[in-house]
Every structure is written in structure tokens, then in C-alpha cells.
Amino acid sequence: MRCIYSVGKVGEFQRLERTVAGLRVQPELFFRLYGDRDDMVLVAGRDAVAREHPAAQAGHVCAGLWRYDCVELFLSGEEDGRYVEMNLSPGGAWWASAFLSPRVTAPGGSVEAFDNRGIRALGECTENGWKAQLRVPLRLLTEHGVRLTNCRAAVCATLIGNTGERQFLASSPVPSDPPNFHCPELWEELWVRTVQ
């Protein structure tokens, strides 16, 4: 059994085409969420050269990924305000944390609670673009109050253009100036479709 997840609308591949300020982004960022009985998988990419965090290494934890090209997945599965944030760099470095409420780290929710617990990440960067994948065990999400059958989600991104200017993208409306992705009340329903 395999599941396909969609943020806010049904579809396998989704795109972030505009910044939170409404400006068109070319080329756009694409992403896909899917899974099986054990894992949820985020795949993301862009047909543009990546600006990678200098300390990022594929498959390893790296703090501060959001300062460079980075995709962020937010999942909130309980009514009590708890949520999980996962970051993925174009080259496959990752970071994660669990929160009690916006920007308040949950006890036992720091990145150490996720490291060496089965998260796998990889990525490939070329002169023509990048594609990265993050595989997260469902049991880790459940431990932090996220069940994908009753979940709200947002996929967000920070992209550095050729000018070095940071662009912020989000699948859900977020307050801008500066952008705040930590708004579970604004995230959209995560749609789940089971396929054989």
C-alpha cells in the first residue's frame, strides 16, 4: 500500500510559483509528498542552481538550513497546537524539531530527538538544478503528536536568487514582512489518497 499526500488540493506533484509577497518565481519549486506504511517522503526540487549551506552534508543534520535554499515541511496533527518542522537542503542535509506552540520547542522535541532515529535524506545538485528527498518514519511523527490522517500542513521554501536576495514561498497564506511560516492555524488540510 502506498499513500499520496497533498497540501490543500488533490494532486501528486505540486508547485510553489509565487513568493509570499505575490511575486512570480521562475523557475518554480516543485514538491511531492507520499508514503507507505512506515514512512512519509518529501521530494522537492527546482530547475535552477542551488545555493547550499556551506556546512550541509547529504544525510546529516545541519542547523541554519533556512538561511540558504531550503524546503520546510510543517505538520500539525493535534488540536493542542503541537507541530513538527522539517527542513531539507538541495544536497540532502536535514534538520527537524517539534513544537508545543509557534516557535516554542517541545520538551524532547529538539533536533537530537530526531537524529539517529531513521530519518534518511539525500539530494543531488547540478548546474541545471537540484532534487532532494527526505524520508521520515511515521512513528517519529506520531511520537510528537502528528497523525497524517487528521493533519494540517504547509510546504514552505527559502530560495536565494542569482542576486543573493532571499525569496520566501509557502503553500499556505503566511504573514509577511518578515514571513512567518510558524502559523498552524493558516496551514491547509493534508489530503491522503491510498493507491495500490
87-129 pLDDT, tens digit per residue, is 999 999 999 999 999 999 999 889 998 988 999 999 999 999 9
Distance in angstroms (rounded) separating the CA atoms of residues 65 and 133: 15
Q: Does the pLDDT value for residue 181 go beyond 70?
A: yes
Q: Give residue 9's pLDDT.
A: 59
Q: Does the pLDDT value for residue 175 go beyond 70?
A: yes
Q: Does the pLDDT value for residue 2 go beyond 80?
A: no
User: Of 89, 98, 76, 77, which Cα lies nearest the Cα of 183?
Assistant: 76
Q: Give residue 159's pLDDT.
A: 95
Where are the extended beta strands (E) located within the chain? 2-7, 13-18, 24-35, 39-46, 70-76, 83-88, 94-101, 104-105, 120-126, 129-137, 152-160, 166-170, 188-195
Q: Does the pLDDT value for residue 157 go beyond 80?
A: yes
50-95 pLDDT, tens digit per residue, is 999 999 999 999 999 999 999 999 999 867 889 999 999 999 999 9
The dihedral sign for the CA sequence 142, 148, 151, 157: positive
CATH architecture of 2-195: Sandwich (2.60)
* Arithmetic mean of pLDDT over the chain: 90
Q: Give residue 85's pLDDT.
A: 97
pTM: 0.94
Distance in angstroms (rounded) separating the CA atoms of residues 38 and 193: 16
Q: Give residue 10's pLDDT.
A: 55
pLDDT band at 161 (very low <50, low <70, confident <90, very high): low
Which residue ranges make up each domain of the chain? Answer: 2-195
What percentage of residues in the chain have a pLDDT greater than 70? 94
Distance in angstroms (rounded) separating the CA atoms of residues 183 and 124: 30
